[in-house]
Chains A and B, each alone.
Chain A
Amino acid sequence: MKANKSRRSFLKNISFATASALALSSCELKSLDKFFQKNFRTLSKKEIDQMIKELEEDYQTKYGKEFHVSAKPATDQTLFGYALDISRCIGCRRCVYACVEENNQSRDPQIHWIQVLQMEKEKGVDFAHSDVHYNPEKVPEEGHFYLPVQCQQCRNPQCTTVCPVKATWQEPDGIVVVDYNWCIGCRYCMAACPYGARHFNWAEPNVPADKINTETHYLGNRPRLKGVVEKCTFCIQRVREGRYPACVEVCPVGARKFGNLLDPESEIRYILENKRVLVLKQELNTQPKFYYFFGV
Chain B
Amino acid sequence: MNFIHFIRGSLKIIFQGSKMYYAWLLFLFLMILWGALGYGNQLAEGLVKTHMRDSVSWAFYIGNFTFLVGIAAAAVMLVIPAYIYNWKPIKEIVIFGELLAVCAVIMSIAFIIVDIGNPQRFWHMLPGLGTMNFPSSMLSWDFFVLLTYLIINFAVVSHLLYSIFYGKEYNKKAVLVLVFISIPMAVAIHTVTAFLYNAIPARPFWNSALLAPRFLASAFCSGPAILLILFQLLRKFTHFEIKDEAIWTIAELMVYAMFIYLFFTVAELFKEFYSGTEHILYWKYLLFGIGDNKELVPYSWSSIIMGCIAFLLFLVPRTRKNFVTLNIGAVLIYASVYVEKGIALIIPGFTPDTLGQIYVYTPSMTEIRTAAMIFSLGFLLFTFLVKIAIAIIFEDYSVKSIEKKLTMSEQRN
A-B pairs, 3 with minimum CB distance: A185-B117, A227-B117, A127-B356
Nearest-CB residue, chain B, relative to A117: B355
1/0 per position for B132-164, CB-CB distance to A under 8 A? 110011111001000000000000000000000
Given contacts A158-B202, A182-B121, A186-B115, contact A128 B278 (CB under 8 A): yes
Q: Which residues of A contact B52 (CB under 8 A)?
A: 202
In A184-233, which residues have CB < 8 Å from any B CB?
184-188, 190-196, 198-204, 225-229
A182 surroundings in chain B (CB, below 8 A): 121, 124, 131
The answer to whether A196 and B54 touch across the interface, beta carbons within 8 angstroms, is: yes
Instruction: Evaluate contact between A284 and B47: CB separation under 8 angstroms.
Output: no
Q: Is B238 an interface residue (CB 8 A)?
A: no
Question: 1/0 contact trace for A110-149 toward B, CB 8 Å?
Answer: 0000010100000000111111100000000000000001
Q: Which residues in chain B, 35-74, are within 8 Å of chain A measured between CB atoms?
A: 45-48, 50, 52-55, 57-58
Contact A132 B139 (CB under 8 A): no
With a cutoff of 8 Å between Cβ atoms, the chain B residues found around residue A192 in the complex are 200, 202
Say which residue of B53, B138, B201 sits within 8 Å of A202 (CB atoms).
Answer: B53
CA distance A39 to B121 in the complex (A): 11
Q: CB of A163 within 8 A of chain B?
A: yes
Q: Which B residues are in CB contact (< 8 Å) with A64?
A: none
Known: A39-B131, A149-B355, A196-B54. A167 touches B124 (CB 8 A): yes
A186 vs B136: C-alpha distance in the bound complex, in angstroms?
Answer: 16
Which A residues lie within 8 Å of B202 (CB)?
Answer: 158, 191-194, 284
B352: CB under 8 A from chain A? yes
Asked if A42 is at the interface of the complex by the 8 Å CB criterion, the answer is yes
Contact residues of A: prevailing secondary structure: loop
Interface residues of A in 154-194 (CB under 8 A from B): 158, 161-167, 182-188, 190-194
We find that the number of chain A residues with CB closer than 8 angstroms to chain B is 50
- Does the CB pair B125–A165 fall under 8 Å? yes
Contact check, B136 vs A161: say whether CB atoms are below 8 A apart: yes
How long is the Cα–Cα vector from A185 to B112 in the complex, in angstroms? Answer: 11
B117 to A203, Cβ gap below 8 A?
no
Interface size of B by Cβ–Cβ distance < 8 Å? 47
- Judging by beta carbons under 8 Å apart, are A165 and B54 in contact? no
What is the minimal beta-carbon distance from B367 to any residue of chain A, in angstroms?
13
B122, closest chain A residue (CB): A184
Interface residues of B (CB under 8 A from A): 45-48, 50, 52-55, 57-58, 112, 115-118, 120-122, 124-125, 130-133, 136-140, 143, 196-197, 200-203, 278, 281, 349-350, 352-357
Q: How far is the CA of A126 from the CA of B48 in the complex (A)?
A: 30
Contact between B45 and A193 (Cβ–Cβ < 8 Å)?
no
Check B117 against A127 for contact (C-beta < 8 Å).
Answer: no
Interface residues of A (CB under 8 A from B): 35, 39, 42, 109, 115, 117, 126-132, 149, 158, 161-167, 182-188, 190-196, 198-204, 225-229, 284-285
Once the chains bind, are B46 and A201 in contact (CB under 8 Å)? yes
A35–B122 Cα distance when bound, in Å, is 11
7 A–B contact pairs at CB < 8 A? A130-B357, A162-B136, A162-B137, A185-B118, A191-B350, A203-B45, A203-B47
Distance between Cα atoms of A196 and B202 in the complex (Å):
10
A132 to B359 CA separation, bound complex (whole angstroms): 11
Please report the C-alpha to C-alpha distance between residue A183 and residue B112 in the assembled complex, in whole angstroms: 15
Would A115 and B201 count as touching, CB distance under 8 A? no
